[in-house]
Structure 1
Amino acid sequence: MFFQLRQGLSKFLSLTGGINYFWKRLPNGVYAFNYHRIGDKEKTPFDRAIFSCTQNAFEQQVIELKKHFKIINTVELAKLIAHGEIVNDRYAVITFDDGYLDNFTEAFPVLKKHKIPAVFYLTTELLESRQITWWDEIAYLLRKSHGMKYQLPNGTLEYTLEKDNIDKIIQRIMSDIKQTKNLSVLTALQDIRSKFPEARTKLLAENHELFMGWEHAEELLKQGMEIGSHTLTHPILTQLENEQHRKEIVESKAILEKRLNCTINSIAYPVGRYYCYNQNTFEYTAEAGYKIGFNNEPGYHRSICNALDINRFCVATDDINYLKYECCFT
């Protein structure tokens, strides 16, 4: 409901010309824009909520961002923070989480065409296998089991998996999984697998290549893009014991640096909402030697007191006016 209200306000302001008035007058500071998947979400049986926009919409957004911001990478950002210079201009950082293959096939050509740098946050385990992530598998199993019912372990709500409303139901269940402290994502996944064995059998029989490999990461670096860490396995860090929490952050950096022969300057915390990382996250991130850490809480920065806790606007629509609205009024 909140998202629909903000969309309505952005449409009203775009019709009246108000959105461009405020957009052109954005204050100086750091604005980070985060993308996940690029493409047509209606074509996937997996999690559609992580599609940011189509390729055409992405190109229009890139053109607009290039026009109104100085686009930088995290090495430049760290220097600006160190020298207290982030208010000297209007800076943008473009990031991609998870390392989906469409980042390389759909987004990368647009970035090259317009000579725009971006940071790609990669989960090391996904670079080394063709596995399906927990969120994509959950979405697939629920989508392929429409007409049935599901209730999370120890949950109070029972969901009917209605075909015409399946995307909304999947996101409600996904939100419950992410925010329930006494239920890990892997426990939820195992429960869903056990409840929907036919869908699980079908998934195992299919062949899906969803993520980039090391060769794609090497090509991105060769073409001037930046690689960052998105941990070893993409867990919700606050659901982990301290040692595993530390391992996800420290070892992913070491693996990326060894395999790609480069310095990994930054990390993006998986899921990235305020309940998915904590003070331990910052301590392990500093210990590993990262200079920049990104969350997924919306907002821009006029000053940055903690370089390991930087906000990002998560793009979730083709509508460029909504993106402008988020920057102007968040």
Structure 2
Amino acid sequence: MPGLETKQIIKRYTGKFITAFSLNKSTKLSVILNYHSVHPTHNFATTPNDFLQQMEYLVANFTMVSLPDFYKLRIAGKSLPDRLAIITFDDGYEDNYTYAFPVLKQFGIKATVFLTTGFINGEVDITEKDGTYQDLKALTWEQVREMRGDGISFGAHTHTHPILTEISLDQAEGEISRSKKILEEKLGEPAGLFAYPFGQPKTFNRNIIDLLKKHGFKSACSTLWGCNNSNVDIFSLNRIRIDACDTFHDFKEKVNGKWEFIKWIQALRG
């Protein structure tokens, strides 16, 4: 859902829903934030200054953990911190290295970047598909390896960024297996994390999850809205999308569970 469209829907319904569907203050919060681009001038990107302010707020108010560590805590059945936050990026834009990475290093935040491997390899320009992130360049493998050396983890996001349920199962399996193989060859380590392209209802299903398990993935992120409790399906982790149009007030409400009504809007939209 594009950021500006989301904003319009939210403004229309916030007054009715924000009280009814906000999380109680006592609710444990495990939030996985979903970013795409951090750029000073792009219309759909979070600005570097906003990103800095957001990370500063999270570090002061949440326990920051990496997505791999969150997975380990879940599998071990250990209790989660009361207020836990995880940073993720989708697609693999160069500005993740240029603008986001220095801020992440400043605060010691171990984010996860989900790479569309064909985009990184220069085989496909995913920015042309819907125009949202048009003109943004891809990360290079050299940049990826440098970030990995500083604690940033990487997951697969398919090879060409299709909606996996709109292609054949054989094609979907090829997208999944190829992205995993390339990622492992380039980084020299197992790739166990995945993010579904688009990640909304109907863009993945049990057949797709079975393919992920078949190829050795351990966990996957959707873009289904919400926090994650101890019972969440590790192959359908919820995320909270951060948009370019978010004010700092919006950001704080989002990460503190005040916009949970979006999950109901997603369900209605199908």
Instruction: Provide the TM-score with structure 2 as the length reference.
Output: 0.83
Superposition pairs of residues 200-211 of structure 1, within 5 angstroms: 210-211=137-138
* Equivalent position of 1:54 in the other structure: 47
* Equivalent position of 2:87 in the other structure: 94
**Does residue 65 of the first structure (1) align with residue 58 of the second (2)?**
yes
Runs of 5+ consecutive residues of structure 1 not aligned to the other structure: 14-21, 140-170, 172-202
**Does residue 297 of the first structure (1) align with residue 229 of the second (2)?**
no
1:260-305 CA-to-partner distances (Å, cap 9, x unmatched) read: 1122221111111112111111101111111110000110022234
Identity %: 30
CA distance in 1, matches of 2:206, 2:124: 30
C-alpha displacement at 1:255, in angstroms? 1.3
Aligned residues: 247
1:163-202 CA-to-partner distances (Å, cap 9, x unmatched) read: xxxxxxxx8xxxxxxxxxxxxxxxxxxxxxxxxxxxxxxx
CA distance in 1, matches of 2:173, 2:123: 25
**Does residue 120 of the first structure (1) align with residue 108 of the second (2)?**
no
Letter in 2 for 1:57: D
Distance 1:137 1:251, change over 3 A: closer
1:40-71 CA-to-partner distances (Å, cap 9, x unmatched) read: 4xx45xxx44x2x1110001110111112211
CA distance in 2, matches of 1:28, 1:120: 25
Superposition pairs of residues 118-267 of structure 1, within 5 angstroms: 118-129=111-122, 131-133=124-126, 135-136=127-128, 138-139=130-131, 210-267=137-194
Letter in 1 for 2:249: N
CA distance in 2, matches of 1:138, 1:36: 14
* Equivalent position of 1:107 in the other structure: 100
CA distance in 2, matches of 1:224, 1:26: 32
* Equivalent position of 1:322 in the other structure: 250
1:205-242 CA-to-partner distances (Å, cap 9, x unmatched) read: xxx66110111110110111101111111111111100
* 8 Å contact kept, 1:98–1:230: yes
Letter in 1 for 2:11: Q
Q: Which has the larger radius of gyration?
A: 1
* 8 Å contact kept, 1:34–1:97: yes
Aligned to 1:232, the other structure's residue is in SS state coil
CA distance in 2, matches of 1:253, 1:66: 31
**Does residue 273 of the first structure (1) align with residue 188 of the second (2)?**
no
* 8 Å contact kept, 1:124–1:255: yes
Distance 1:26 1:229, change over 3 A: farther
CA distance in 2, matches of 1:250, 1:131: 17
Distance 1:256 1:38, change over 3 A: same
* Pairwise CA RMSD: 2.7
Alignment match of 1:5 (pick from 12, 36, 47): 12
Runs of 5+ consecutive residues of structure 2 not aligned to the other structure: 1-7, 261-270
CA distance in 2, matches of 1:83, 1:26: 24
CA distance in 2, matches of 1:99, 1:281: 22
Distance 1:131 1:286, change over 3 A: closer
Higher helix content, 1 or 2 = 1
C-alpha displacement at 1:131, in angstroms? 4.3
1:126-158 CA-to-partner distances (Å, cap 9, x unmatched) read: 11117432x53553xxxxxxxxxxxxxxxxxxx
* Equivalent position of 2:36 in the other structure: 36
C-alpha displacement at 1:323, in angstroms? 2.0
CA distance in 1, matches of 2:75, 2:113: 23
